Structure 1
């Protein structure tokens, strides 16, 4: 009997497990192992600080972001007074799981099958990876952190299977030496309908390797061919491919994260990936912490309604950012003409500074109201075509 079993050992699940054991609860962490999520791997300074990520986990420190438009216009945005950390999910996720285990979480390796209940509470049934046998583990509460299209959400939470998502695909390649226009200190974000008709492509440095990928909600898009085209456009075709990965990325937080009884969701399972940017690691870990807080509160009080705290705590801090980013995606990702205008808008110094201040600190910056007004007016001018997309 555990207080909590966490299903899924990505950043959300591992964070929830560690937080709970450090607060004195018994926890089992179930992960199927061997799966690496396709991810650019960018983490902001606030994550590094809030979750005590050591420098050894950073495979690169990016100091510039380059936005590339459909016509090939390039806008370089310097990251002032800081950097964006890059991690490789194959190593970073395992680091988080191992840290949770060192704190006291019991690690189970296997695949979630279902939840069963009796008078004493829920059981999680899983298929053990070692011997293939079905096994069960009992807990008072369950945290579902098993990713987009979560099986726990599908089985336990109303509306848990109704979530829009992007199919993301990337290839990890050997970092080029003098090939193309690659820069080991720069993230490239490509807004081009030929790569993705409704999202974007990326080239992110990972030290000795790099992540090259894209995402799309359009089912007809051949993600592998689009990534091959992106590699060709970036001069990276000849780089040796180390691995290939694909997975769904949710685009909208679920309206409900718990079942009102014994299950609460976290991370991709709850849909907490930022619109427009697709950023997920920071929000997954914040969601894992919120789920742990809700579970601890429920265990202490005996009130199942305390499980609602997970969503309430998360949305209280991040709802506005998600709403703004969602509006940006709807406004600018619908056509190449709009994408061209978006990249043109990125030339603006106020846009650059406020964007990265918000990214680094994970909150909207309100200190410069005139800058916000200027950006709002320029945004309106672009959306209404009062100004040309090309920068003069």
Structure 2
């Protein structure tokens, strides 16, 4: 009998499993081996600090972000007083799983099949990867951390099958030497409807490699062709391709994260990817942490209602940021004219500073009310077309 079975071993599941194991709970972590999620790999300083990530996992340190408009105008934003760390998900996720295992979580490799219940308890059935046999884990609680199209969420949590998402696709390439269009210390974010009609494209350095990709929620968009066009425009068409990956990325937290009895969701399964930016690693790990907190409380009190703590704690800390980012995406991602205006706003020094202070510290900056007022006026002027999209 396990206290908790964690289904999924990405950043959310591995973090939940590690936290629970370090708290003295008997934990099993079930994960499918060999899957690498398409991801730019950016992690803020707060994640590195809060989750004790060693320097060995940081494959690049980004000091500039370049925003590129549909007309190929660009704004280079310096990242003051810090940097954006880059990780390679192939190695970072495995590091987190190993750390959970070292903390005492039982690591199992296989494919989740279903959840069954009887008088003996709650059972997780899975197909063991090594033998192909169907095996069973009996547990008191379950954390579903099995991704954006979570089988656990669809089967157990109301609304779990209705989560909005975009499809992300990227290609990992061998990084070239620095050129006019590529630099190993700079992330490029491309707001161009020819690349993505409703999201954005990216070129993110990973040390000796780079992630080049895009996302969209619109059916019929050829993700591979769009990425090929992005590589061509970025001068990366001739670089060797190492691997290609695609997966859904949710864009809105689910209204409910638990089933009221014995299941709580975490990470992409709960929808905790930031709107507008698509940032997910930090929020996945925080989602895993609050799921572990809720599970610990439920185990201590035997009150299923305590599973609601996961969503309450997360939204109390990050709900306002998600609402602001969601409003920004709705306002500026709908057309190339709006994207052009968004890049124009990025010329503003206050926009730059407040954006990256919020990104690095994971909270909205409220210390400079005059800067907020000025940004609000500029934002309104662009959205009401009182100024040219080429004006900063």
TM-score normalised by the shorter chain: which range applies?
A: over 0.9
Moved more, 279-288 or 177-186: 177-186
Aligned to 1:16, the other structure's residue is in SS state helix
Deviation of residue 391 (structure 1)?
3.0
Aligned ranges for residues 56-71 of structure 1 at < 5 Å? 56-71=56-71
Which has the larger displacement, 189-198 or 171-180? 171-180
CA distance in 2 between partners of 1:372 and 1:27 (Å) = 46
Counterpart residue number, 1:15: 15
Structure 2 distance, partners of 1:307, 1:68, is 43
Gaps of 5+ in 2: none
Instruction: Give the conservation status (yes or no) of the 8 Å contact 1:180–1:234.
Output: no
Query: What's the offset of the Cα at 1:6?
Result: 0.2
Please say if 1:299 is aligned against 2:299.
yes
* 1:198 matched residue in structure 2: 198
Q: Alpha-carbon deviation of 1:177?
A: 1.8
- Residue of structure 2 in register with 1:167 after alignment: 167
Equivalent residue for 1:147? 147
1:39 corresponds to: 39
CA distance in 1 between counterparts of 2:219 and 2:86 reads 29
SS of residue paired to 1:124 = strand
Partner of 1:158: 158
**TM score, norm. by length of structure 1:** 0.99
Select between 176-185 and 208-217 the one with higher mean Cα deviation.
176-185
1:122-141 CA-partner distances (Å, limit 9, x unpaired) = 10000000011110111100
Q: Give the root-mean-square deviation of aligned CA atoms.
A: 0.7
What CA distance in whole angstroms lies between the structure 2 residues aligned with 1:349 and 1:385? 21
2: CA distance, partners of 1:255 / 1:178: 45
For 1:135 and 1:92, locate their aligned partners in 2 and report how far apart those are by CA, in whole Å. Answer: 28
State how far apart, in whole Å, the 2-side matches of 1:46 and 1:234 are: 30
CA distance in 1 between counterparts of 2:180 and 2:114 reads 49
The Cα shift of 1:181 comes to: 1.4
Q: 1 CA distance for matches of 2:289 and 2:121?
A: 24
Rounded to whole Å, the distance in 1 between the matches of 2:202 and 2:119 is 51
How many residues align? The count is 392
1:260-279 matches, within 5 Å, as 260-279=260-279
Measure the CA separation in 2 of the matches of 1:119 and 1:307.
22
TM-score by length of 2: 0.99
- Residue by residue, what CA displacement relative to the aligned partner does 1:333-392 show, whole Å, maximum 9, x if unpaired? 000000000000000000000000000000000000110000000000000011111137
Contact 2:178–2:184 at 8 Å: present in 1 too?
Answer: no
Matches of 1:348 and 1:158, distance apart in 2: 43
Q: Partner of 1:227 in structure 2? A: 227
Q: What SS does the aligned partner of 2:131 have? A: coil
